[in-house]
Amino acid sequence: MKNVMSLVDLQREEAYIKELTQDRPIASLPFAGRYRLVDFALSSMVTSGIRNVGVLLPENKARSILDHLRSGKDWDLARHHKGLFYLPPVRPENGEKASDLRNIYYNLNFVENSNEEYVLLARATSVYNIDFTKVLKFHIDNGADVTVVTSKAWHSDPCSGLIVEPGENGRIRDAAIKPELKEGEYRSLGIFLMSKELFCNVVRYAFEHGGTDFRRDAILKQATGLKFYTYIHDGFAARICSTPAFYLSNLKMLDQSVWEELFMKENAPIITKVKDMSPTEYKEGANVKNSLIANGCEIHGTVENSVIFRNVTVAPGAVIRNSVVMEDCVLEAQAEIEYVITDKEVTITQGKRLRGAVNFPVMIGKHVTI
């Protein structure tokens, strides 16, 4: 895909997932034991042959992204020619509001100065493993002006999103931004493909006429006269824009078929920042069932139907069920959690018990001791 350059958009409203995004953008949320959400968009781009990647940084909380991506070396993007570029936001002035459209507009020179024919814009808030060469072929074969990558939703979600109604050969009959997403709808994964010329034109027109939202003002409001198609991704995909979606999508990784479809594709690995750690130790008395456990953990107690990140300690008699436990957490002896999400460096002290529900998991913030 030498004729495609890409933009990774990190600007995202966080109202429905604010417990996990106090000091990080959604794109750097830990996922599946060792990854970050940005890894999925970036890895799909790189394994599809895209070598010119611009990362549109958010107005704040960019430190975790910069620390994770660094030079782009892990993704083979630390290059003398093209590679990974950080595109900083421009501070709002004269009453302007921060927005994804504004961020793109003030970085259009990066797009215009590239020599690729097409632009692939992707929000780093979805989990997938997509071969973008197939998306490009679909786009060209259908003579599309804009191709929106979608998937059929497997769960409902309280946050808004772009929904499309696909017609014959993928031509979009109708599209709308809905305030709440339902299971079975074809929802956008935040991925848009179009020519560089069209991309620059719709962004410039939308912003200079008061627009703030790329989907609404650059896409939907300028759809008249353009050929809009949807490429429907039939593999696993998850859109992470709420705490329930984060929880349910992590637990989906316990399904072997989902894990293999995401992480075991030949010549299409999901790449992340390398962290060297010793293997997990399963001590005498450990009881682990249907769980995903990353390196560096020490397990004495019981872990069932859970996702455990790096360097977690589960003391003798401690129990974790149906939970997502991030890095450097400690469950002391006889502590029990069920339907719980813990952020990093949480300690559940001896004998404490916490229980949420599958649709309302208990959320514990960073550095908390209970």
Q: What is the C-alpha to C-alpha distance for residues 356 and 147, in angstroms, rounded to an integer?
A: 40
Question: Do residues 229 and 149 touch, judged by C-beta distance below 8 A?
Answer: no
Q: How confident is the model at residue 276 (pLDDT cuts 50, 70, 90)?
A: confident
Give the pLDDT of residue 152: 96
Average pLDDT, the chain: 95
Give the pLDDT of residue 72: 97
Which residues are 84's β-sheet partners?
Answer: 53
Region 265-285: mean pLDDT is 94
pLDDT digits (tens, 9 = 90+) for 338-354: 999 999 999 999 999 99
Please determine, for residue 93, whether its predicted confidence score (pLDDT) is greater than 90.
Answer: no
Residue 177: closest CA among 224, 213, 123: 213
Give the pLDDT of residue 254: 98
Please determine, for residue 13, whether its predicted confidence score (pLDDT) is greater than 80.
Answer: no
Region 347-362: mean pLDDT is 96
Based on its alpha-carbon atoms, the radius of gyration of the chain, rounded to whole angstroms, reads 21
pLDDT digits (tens, 9 = 90+) for 169-190: 999 999 999 999 999 999 999 9
**210 token code pair:** 């008061």
Question: Do residues 77 and 46 touch, judged by C-beta distance below 8 A?
Answer: yes
**97 token code pair:** 């509001």
Three-class SS of residue 316? coil
Helical ranges in the chain per DSSP H: 38-47, 63-69, 100-105, 108-112, 132-141, 196-208, 243-252, 256-263
Q: How confident is the model at residue 61 (pLDDT cuts 50, 70, 90)?
A: confident
Give the pLDDT of residue 98: 78
Maximum alpha-carbon separation in the chain: 68
Give the pLDDT of residue 275: 87
Q: How confident is the model at residue 193 (pLDDT cuts 50, 70, 90)?
A: very high
Domains of the chain in sequence order: 4-263 (3.90.550.10), 281-364 (2.160.10.10)
pLDDT digits (tens, 9 = 90+) for 293-333: 999 999 999 999 999 999 999 999 999 999 999 999 999 99
- DSSP codes joined into one string, 230-253: EEE--S--EE--SHHHHHHHHHHT
Q: What is the C-alpha to C-alpha distance for residues 195 and 118, in angstroms, rounded to an integer?
A: 4
Q: Does the reported pTM lie above 0.75?
A: yes
Strands in 157-316 per DSSP E: 161-166, 172-178, 186-195, 228-232, 238-239, 281-282, 287-289, 292-293, 298-299, 302-304, 307-308, 313-314
Residue 101: partners with Cβ closer than 8 Å, 6 or more residues away = 203, 206, 207, 211, 212, 213, 214, 217, 218
Give the pLDDT of residue 16: 82
Residue 251: closest CA among 183, 155, 163, 159: 155
Please determine, for residue 60, whether its predicted confidence score (pLDDT) is greater than 90.
Answer: no
Give the pLDDT of residue 11: 80
pLDDT digits (tens, 9 = 90+) for 63-76: 999 999 999 999 99
Q: How confident is the model at residue 18 (pLDDT cuts 50, 70, 90)?
A: confident
